[in-house]
Structure 1
Amino acid sequence: MTTKQAFFLVGGAVRDALLGWPVKDRDWLVVGGDPAQMREAGFVAVGRDFPVFLHPETHEEYALARTERKTAPGYHGFAFHAAADVTLEQDLARRDLTINAMAQDDGGQIIDPYGGRRDLADKLLRHVSPAFAEDPVRILRLARFAARFEGFSVAPETQALMCEMVAAGEVDALVAERVWQEFAKGLMEARPERMIEVLRDCGALARLAPELDALFGVPQPAAHHPEVDTGVHVLMVLRQCALQQAPLTVRYACLCHDLGKGLTPADVLPRHIGHEGRGLPLVRRLSERWRVPSDCRELAELVAREHTHVHQSEAFSAEARLRLMERCDAWRRPERFEQLLWACECDARGRLGLEDRPYPQREGLLKDLRAVQAVDLAAVSAQELAEGRKGPEIGQAVQRARLAALGE
């Protein structure tokens, strides 16, 4: 006998509408349906692990109501049951947070069996059921939501559950690609520093990024860093990234720029002499662990190595500024060089009470780059060749022309 299907708008679309936010993506839940009915109605099956279909006209996702059962460690270890007898409440119960476990029927009525509306009003991130503990990705997702929803806090019982999950080793089962996927999204939210705070509070940061976790409690000179604590400084730099609407490459580089300070020998604390070089292997290790894309990885290494030189560049001679640009491959990678300077500005302003101070180094080095780019290398080379000079001599002439362009 054919069952009657019911369609419900679910998840983020319901949540964001209640918050008064624009609804970007709409996901639908089908209760009382089966795959044959969906195909007969023209829906296209796309789900690999459980029945998900695309609407033939809107191409929005429609998933059959389902329950799930934990079968193995990690976030892949689940068995799904999708059938016409699965109720709306059963499907919503398997979701991560109460604010994501609401539905809306075709008449506009909100179905909220787990108190999501109340938690939205109270700005609380609360798990729906103990099943939250079965999927370690949910820790990352919650941290990302904390970065998105300003002013939201983690419910005490959810905080305790996440700590238990970390202690049980669930976070260790996460695969690199999923970790990076969630971190990349979280870094691009309005308050990326909140993601780091939430992960640190439950112990997950020490498992996922021990190089970053090690920075908290490490002192810095108060003259340059009134906030003193290196980990707090990194959070403030991420805040600057968000305020300046920096791209992901810059935000990841800022996350990693001071990793070397976690290895500073006691005899040079708190000045952190040489932290740039100590940080490079740590940046590479973290990037490899998370399988970070090459553009983010390369900029992070460049910023870790050169950020203090950029900060000091106003006092550099023309030769020193030229060497800095050469090390950064600024001629061939001008966009990456500009992102380096952007990250350095966020670093300089990510300090207590110094958030609005000018950062003339950025514009000064950009001016230098434009001046050097304007040098007619073909004309310089042609002139040298006409005068009988070759190879190294032409290179020396190019360097003299570039220095002349810098005004010294």
Structure 2
Amino acid sequence: MHVYLVGGCVRDRLLARLTGRPQPSSDRDWVVVGATPEDMLARGYLPVGNDFPVFLHPKTHEEYALARTERKTAPGYHGFVFHAAPDVTLEEDLRRRDLTINAMALDDDGQLIDPYGGLDDLKARRLRHVSPAFEEDPVRILRAARFAARFPDFRVADETLALMRRMVDAGEVDALVPERIFSEISRGLTAEAPLRMLDELEACGLWARLYADIALTPSVRALVERLACDGASLDLRLLALTSGAETGDAALRFLKSVRAPASALGLAQTFWSLRDALFGMKTPEDAARVFEKIDVVRRRERAEALLLFCSRLAEIEGLPVRWTQDELSQLLDAWTSIDAGAVAKAQTDPRAIPEAVRAARREALLACAGRLENARAPRP
């Protein structure tokens, strides 16, 4: 029985040595060669794998998988039969992995096992498939694109991109399940250079095949990049992807198709239903109406996200705006500063309370807008 450290942890250790820059820590994954499930159970490991034998270490709770091979039996991500046995070698196990930089291992003595040239590809900043088995799993297209976003100075090897295109043309990507798509796209969108992921998904044809209604226009790309620089939330970055849709319905269909979280759907629904009003805020009265519709008192975070999004989109598309992002934040502060309870206590007729609260908020917003205008006025 031999145990090897494999995968992303090995890649990131080597990359840190090559670049002199620490890499985000990856979970440590282990491959066990020469053992059976019974051997693992006898040593106190806990079984967790349904499709193939994976175990948790009794103390560290890290994952230990028996070395395995796989055989394609049907289209899509689940169309595989796995074979795990003591005679499966480490090289055979590594051969089924996606990219060479993820197909390296370290033994107990820290010696590198690199049968497929992963270290050379790290040095060359190259994302290259390990073997023709890459073609059997469409998720690997998404992973290659996602790694391009994480490592923006790496390029997808020509032969790997050609393989990705063949997979798309053959319809293999049609079997992708939404949950796996979202898992990879969300990680790519929040990586260092999300545009690199979009570039690769367009280059291989996957985006056009699956999401023809969502155009990755120059404006969309610029917005994704700007929001990434802002450190914006995943929900905002997903909304940016849909900003090139022709209609709100198309945008929501896309988000639903990739199983985006409810928070992203809610943000998109609010944006598309109020799009014209958000970009049409020219007076304090306009802002008051939008604030009421967004319900900024109870949903301040969503309101700030929407206003940031609109500000960035207006900058990119050259749309005229009345207030800067900082000024909009001040207007939000004014609107939410009203003590609704105190206003309610001052009313003798309970039926007058809602309108009194609205009037107080409008008055505070108008006063703030006036101060902003005065601050803009040139001093004598």
TM-score greater than 0.5 by the shorter chain: yes
One-letter identity of the residue aligned with 1:36: E
- Asked if structure 2 preserves the Cα contact closer than 8 Å seen for 1:311 and 1:361, the reply is no
| CA distance in structure 2 between the aligned counterparts of 1:390 and 1:28, rounded to whole angstroms | 67
Q: Deviations over 1:22-57 (max 9, x none)?
A: 433100011111111111111111111001111111
Cα distance between partner residues in 2 of 1:125 and 1:66:
23
The answer to whether the 8 Å contact 1:66/1:80 transfers is yes
CA pair 166-103 structure 1, distance change in 2 beyond 3 A: same
How many residues matched?
Answer: 360
Equivalent in 158, 170, 173 of residue 171 of structure 1? 173
1:6 paired to 2:10:
no
Cross-structure match for 2:373: none
* Aligned match of 2:69: 67
1:402 aligns with 2:365: no
Q: Is the contact between residue 8 and residue 26 of structure 2 (CA under 8 Å) also seen in structure 1? A: no
Does 2:218 correspond to 1:232? yes
Q: Is 1:290 aligned to 2:258, yes or no?
A: yes
- Identify the residue that residue 252 of structure 1 maps to in structure 2: 238
Deviations 1:116-163 (A, max 9, x none): 111111111111111111000111111111110011111111111111
**So what's the TM-score if we normalise by structure 2?**
0.89
TM-score by length of 1: 0.83
2:338 corresponds, among 356, 370, 375, to 375
CA distance in 1, matches of 2:28, 2:276: 46
SS in 2 for 1:179: helix
Greater shift, 241-250 or 99-108, is seen at: 241-250
Question: How far does residue 111 in structure 1 lie from its aligned partner after superposition?
Answer: 0.9
Describe how 1:326-405 pairs up with structure 2 within 5 A. Answer: 326-350=292-316, 361-384=324-347, 386=348, 389=349, 391=351, 393-405=352-364
Aligned pairs for 1:9-408 (under 5 A) are 9-20=5-16, 21-212=23-214, 215-216=215-216, 231-260=217-246, 279-306=247-274, 309-311=277-279, 313=281, 316-350=282-316, 361-384=324-347, 386=348, 389=349, 391=351, 393-408=352-367
Once the two structures are aligned, what percentage of the paired residues are identical? 49
Contact 2:98/2:130 (<8 A) preserved: yes
CA distance in 2, matches of 1:403, 1:6: 71
Question: Which runs of no fewer than 5 residues in structure 1 stay unpaired?
Answer: 217-230, 261-278
Q: Aligned-pair distance for 1:342?
A: 2.7
Is 1:239–1:350's contact at 8 Å kept on the other side of the alignment? no
Q: CA deviation at 1:199?
A: 0.6
Structure 2 SS opposite 1:47: coil
Equivalent residue, structure 2, for 1:263 = none
Q: Which secondary structure does the structure 2 equivalent of 1:210 belong to?
A: coil
Instruction: Give the gaps of 5 or more residues in structure 2.
Output: 17-22, 368-380
Counterpart of 1:368 in 2: which secondary structure? helix
Once residues 82 and 301 of structure 2 are traced to their aligned partners in structure 1, the CA distance between those partners, rounded to angstroms, is 47
**Which position in structure 2 is the counterpart of 1:226?**
none
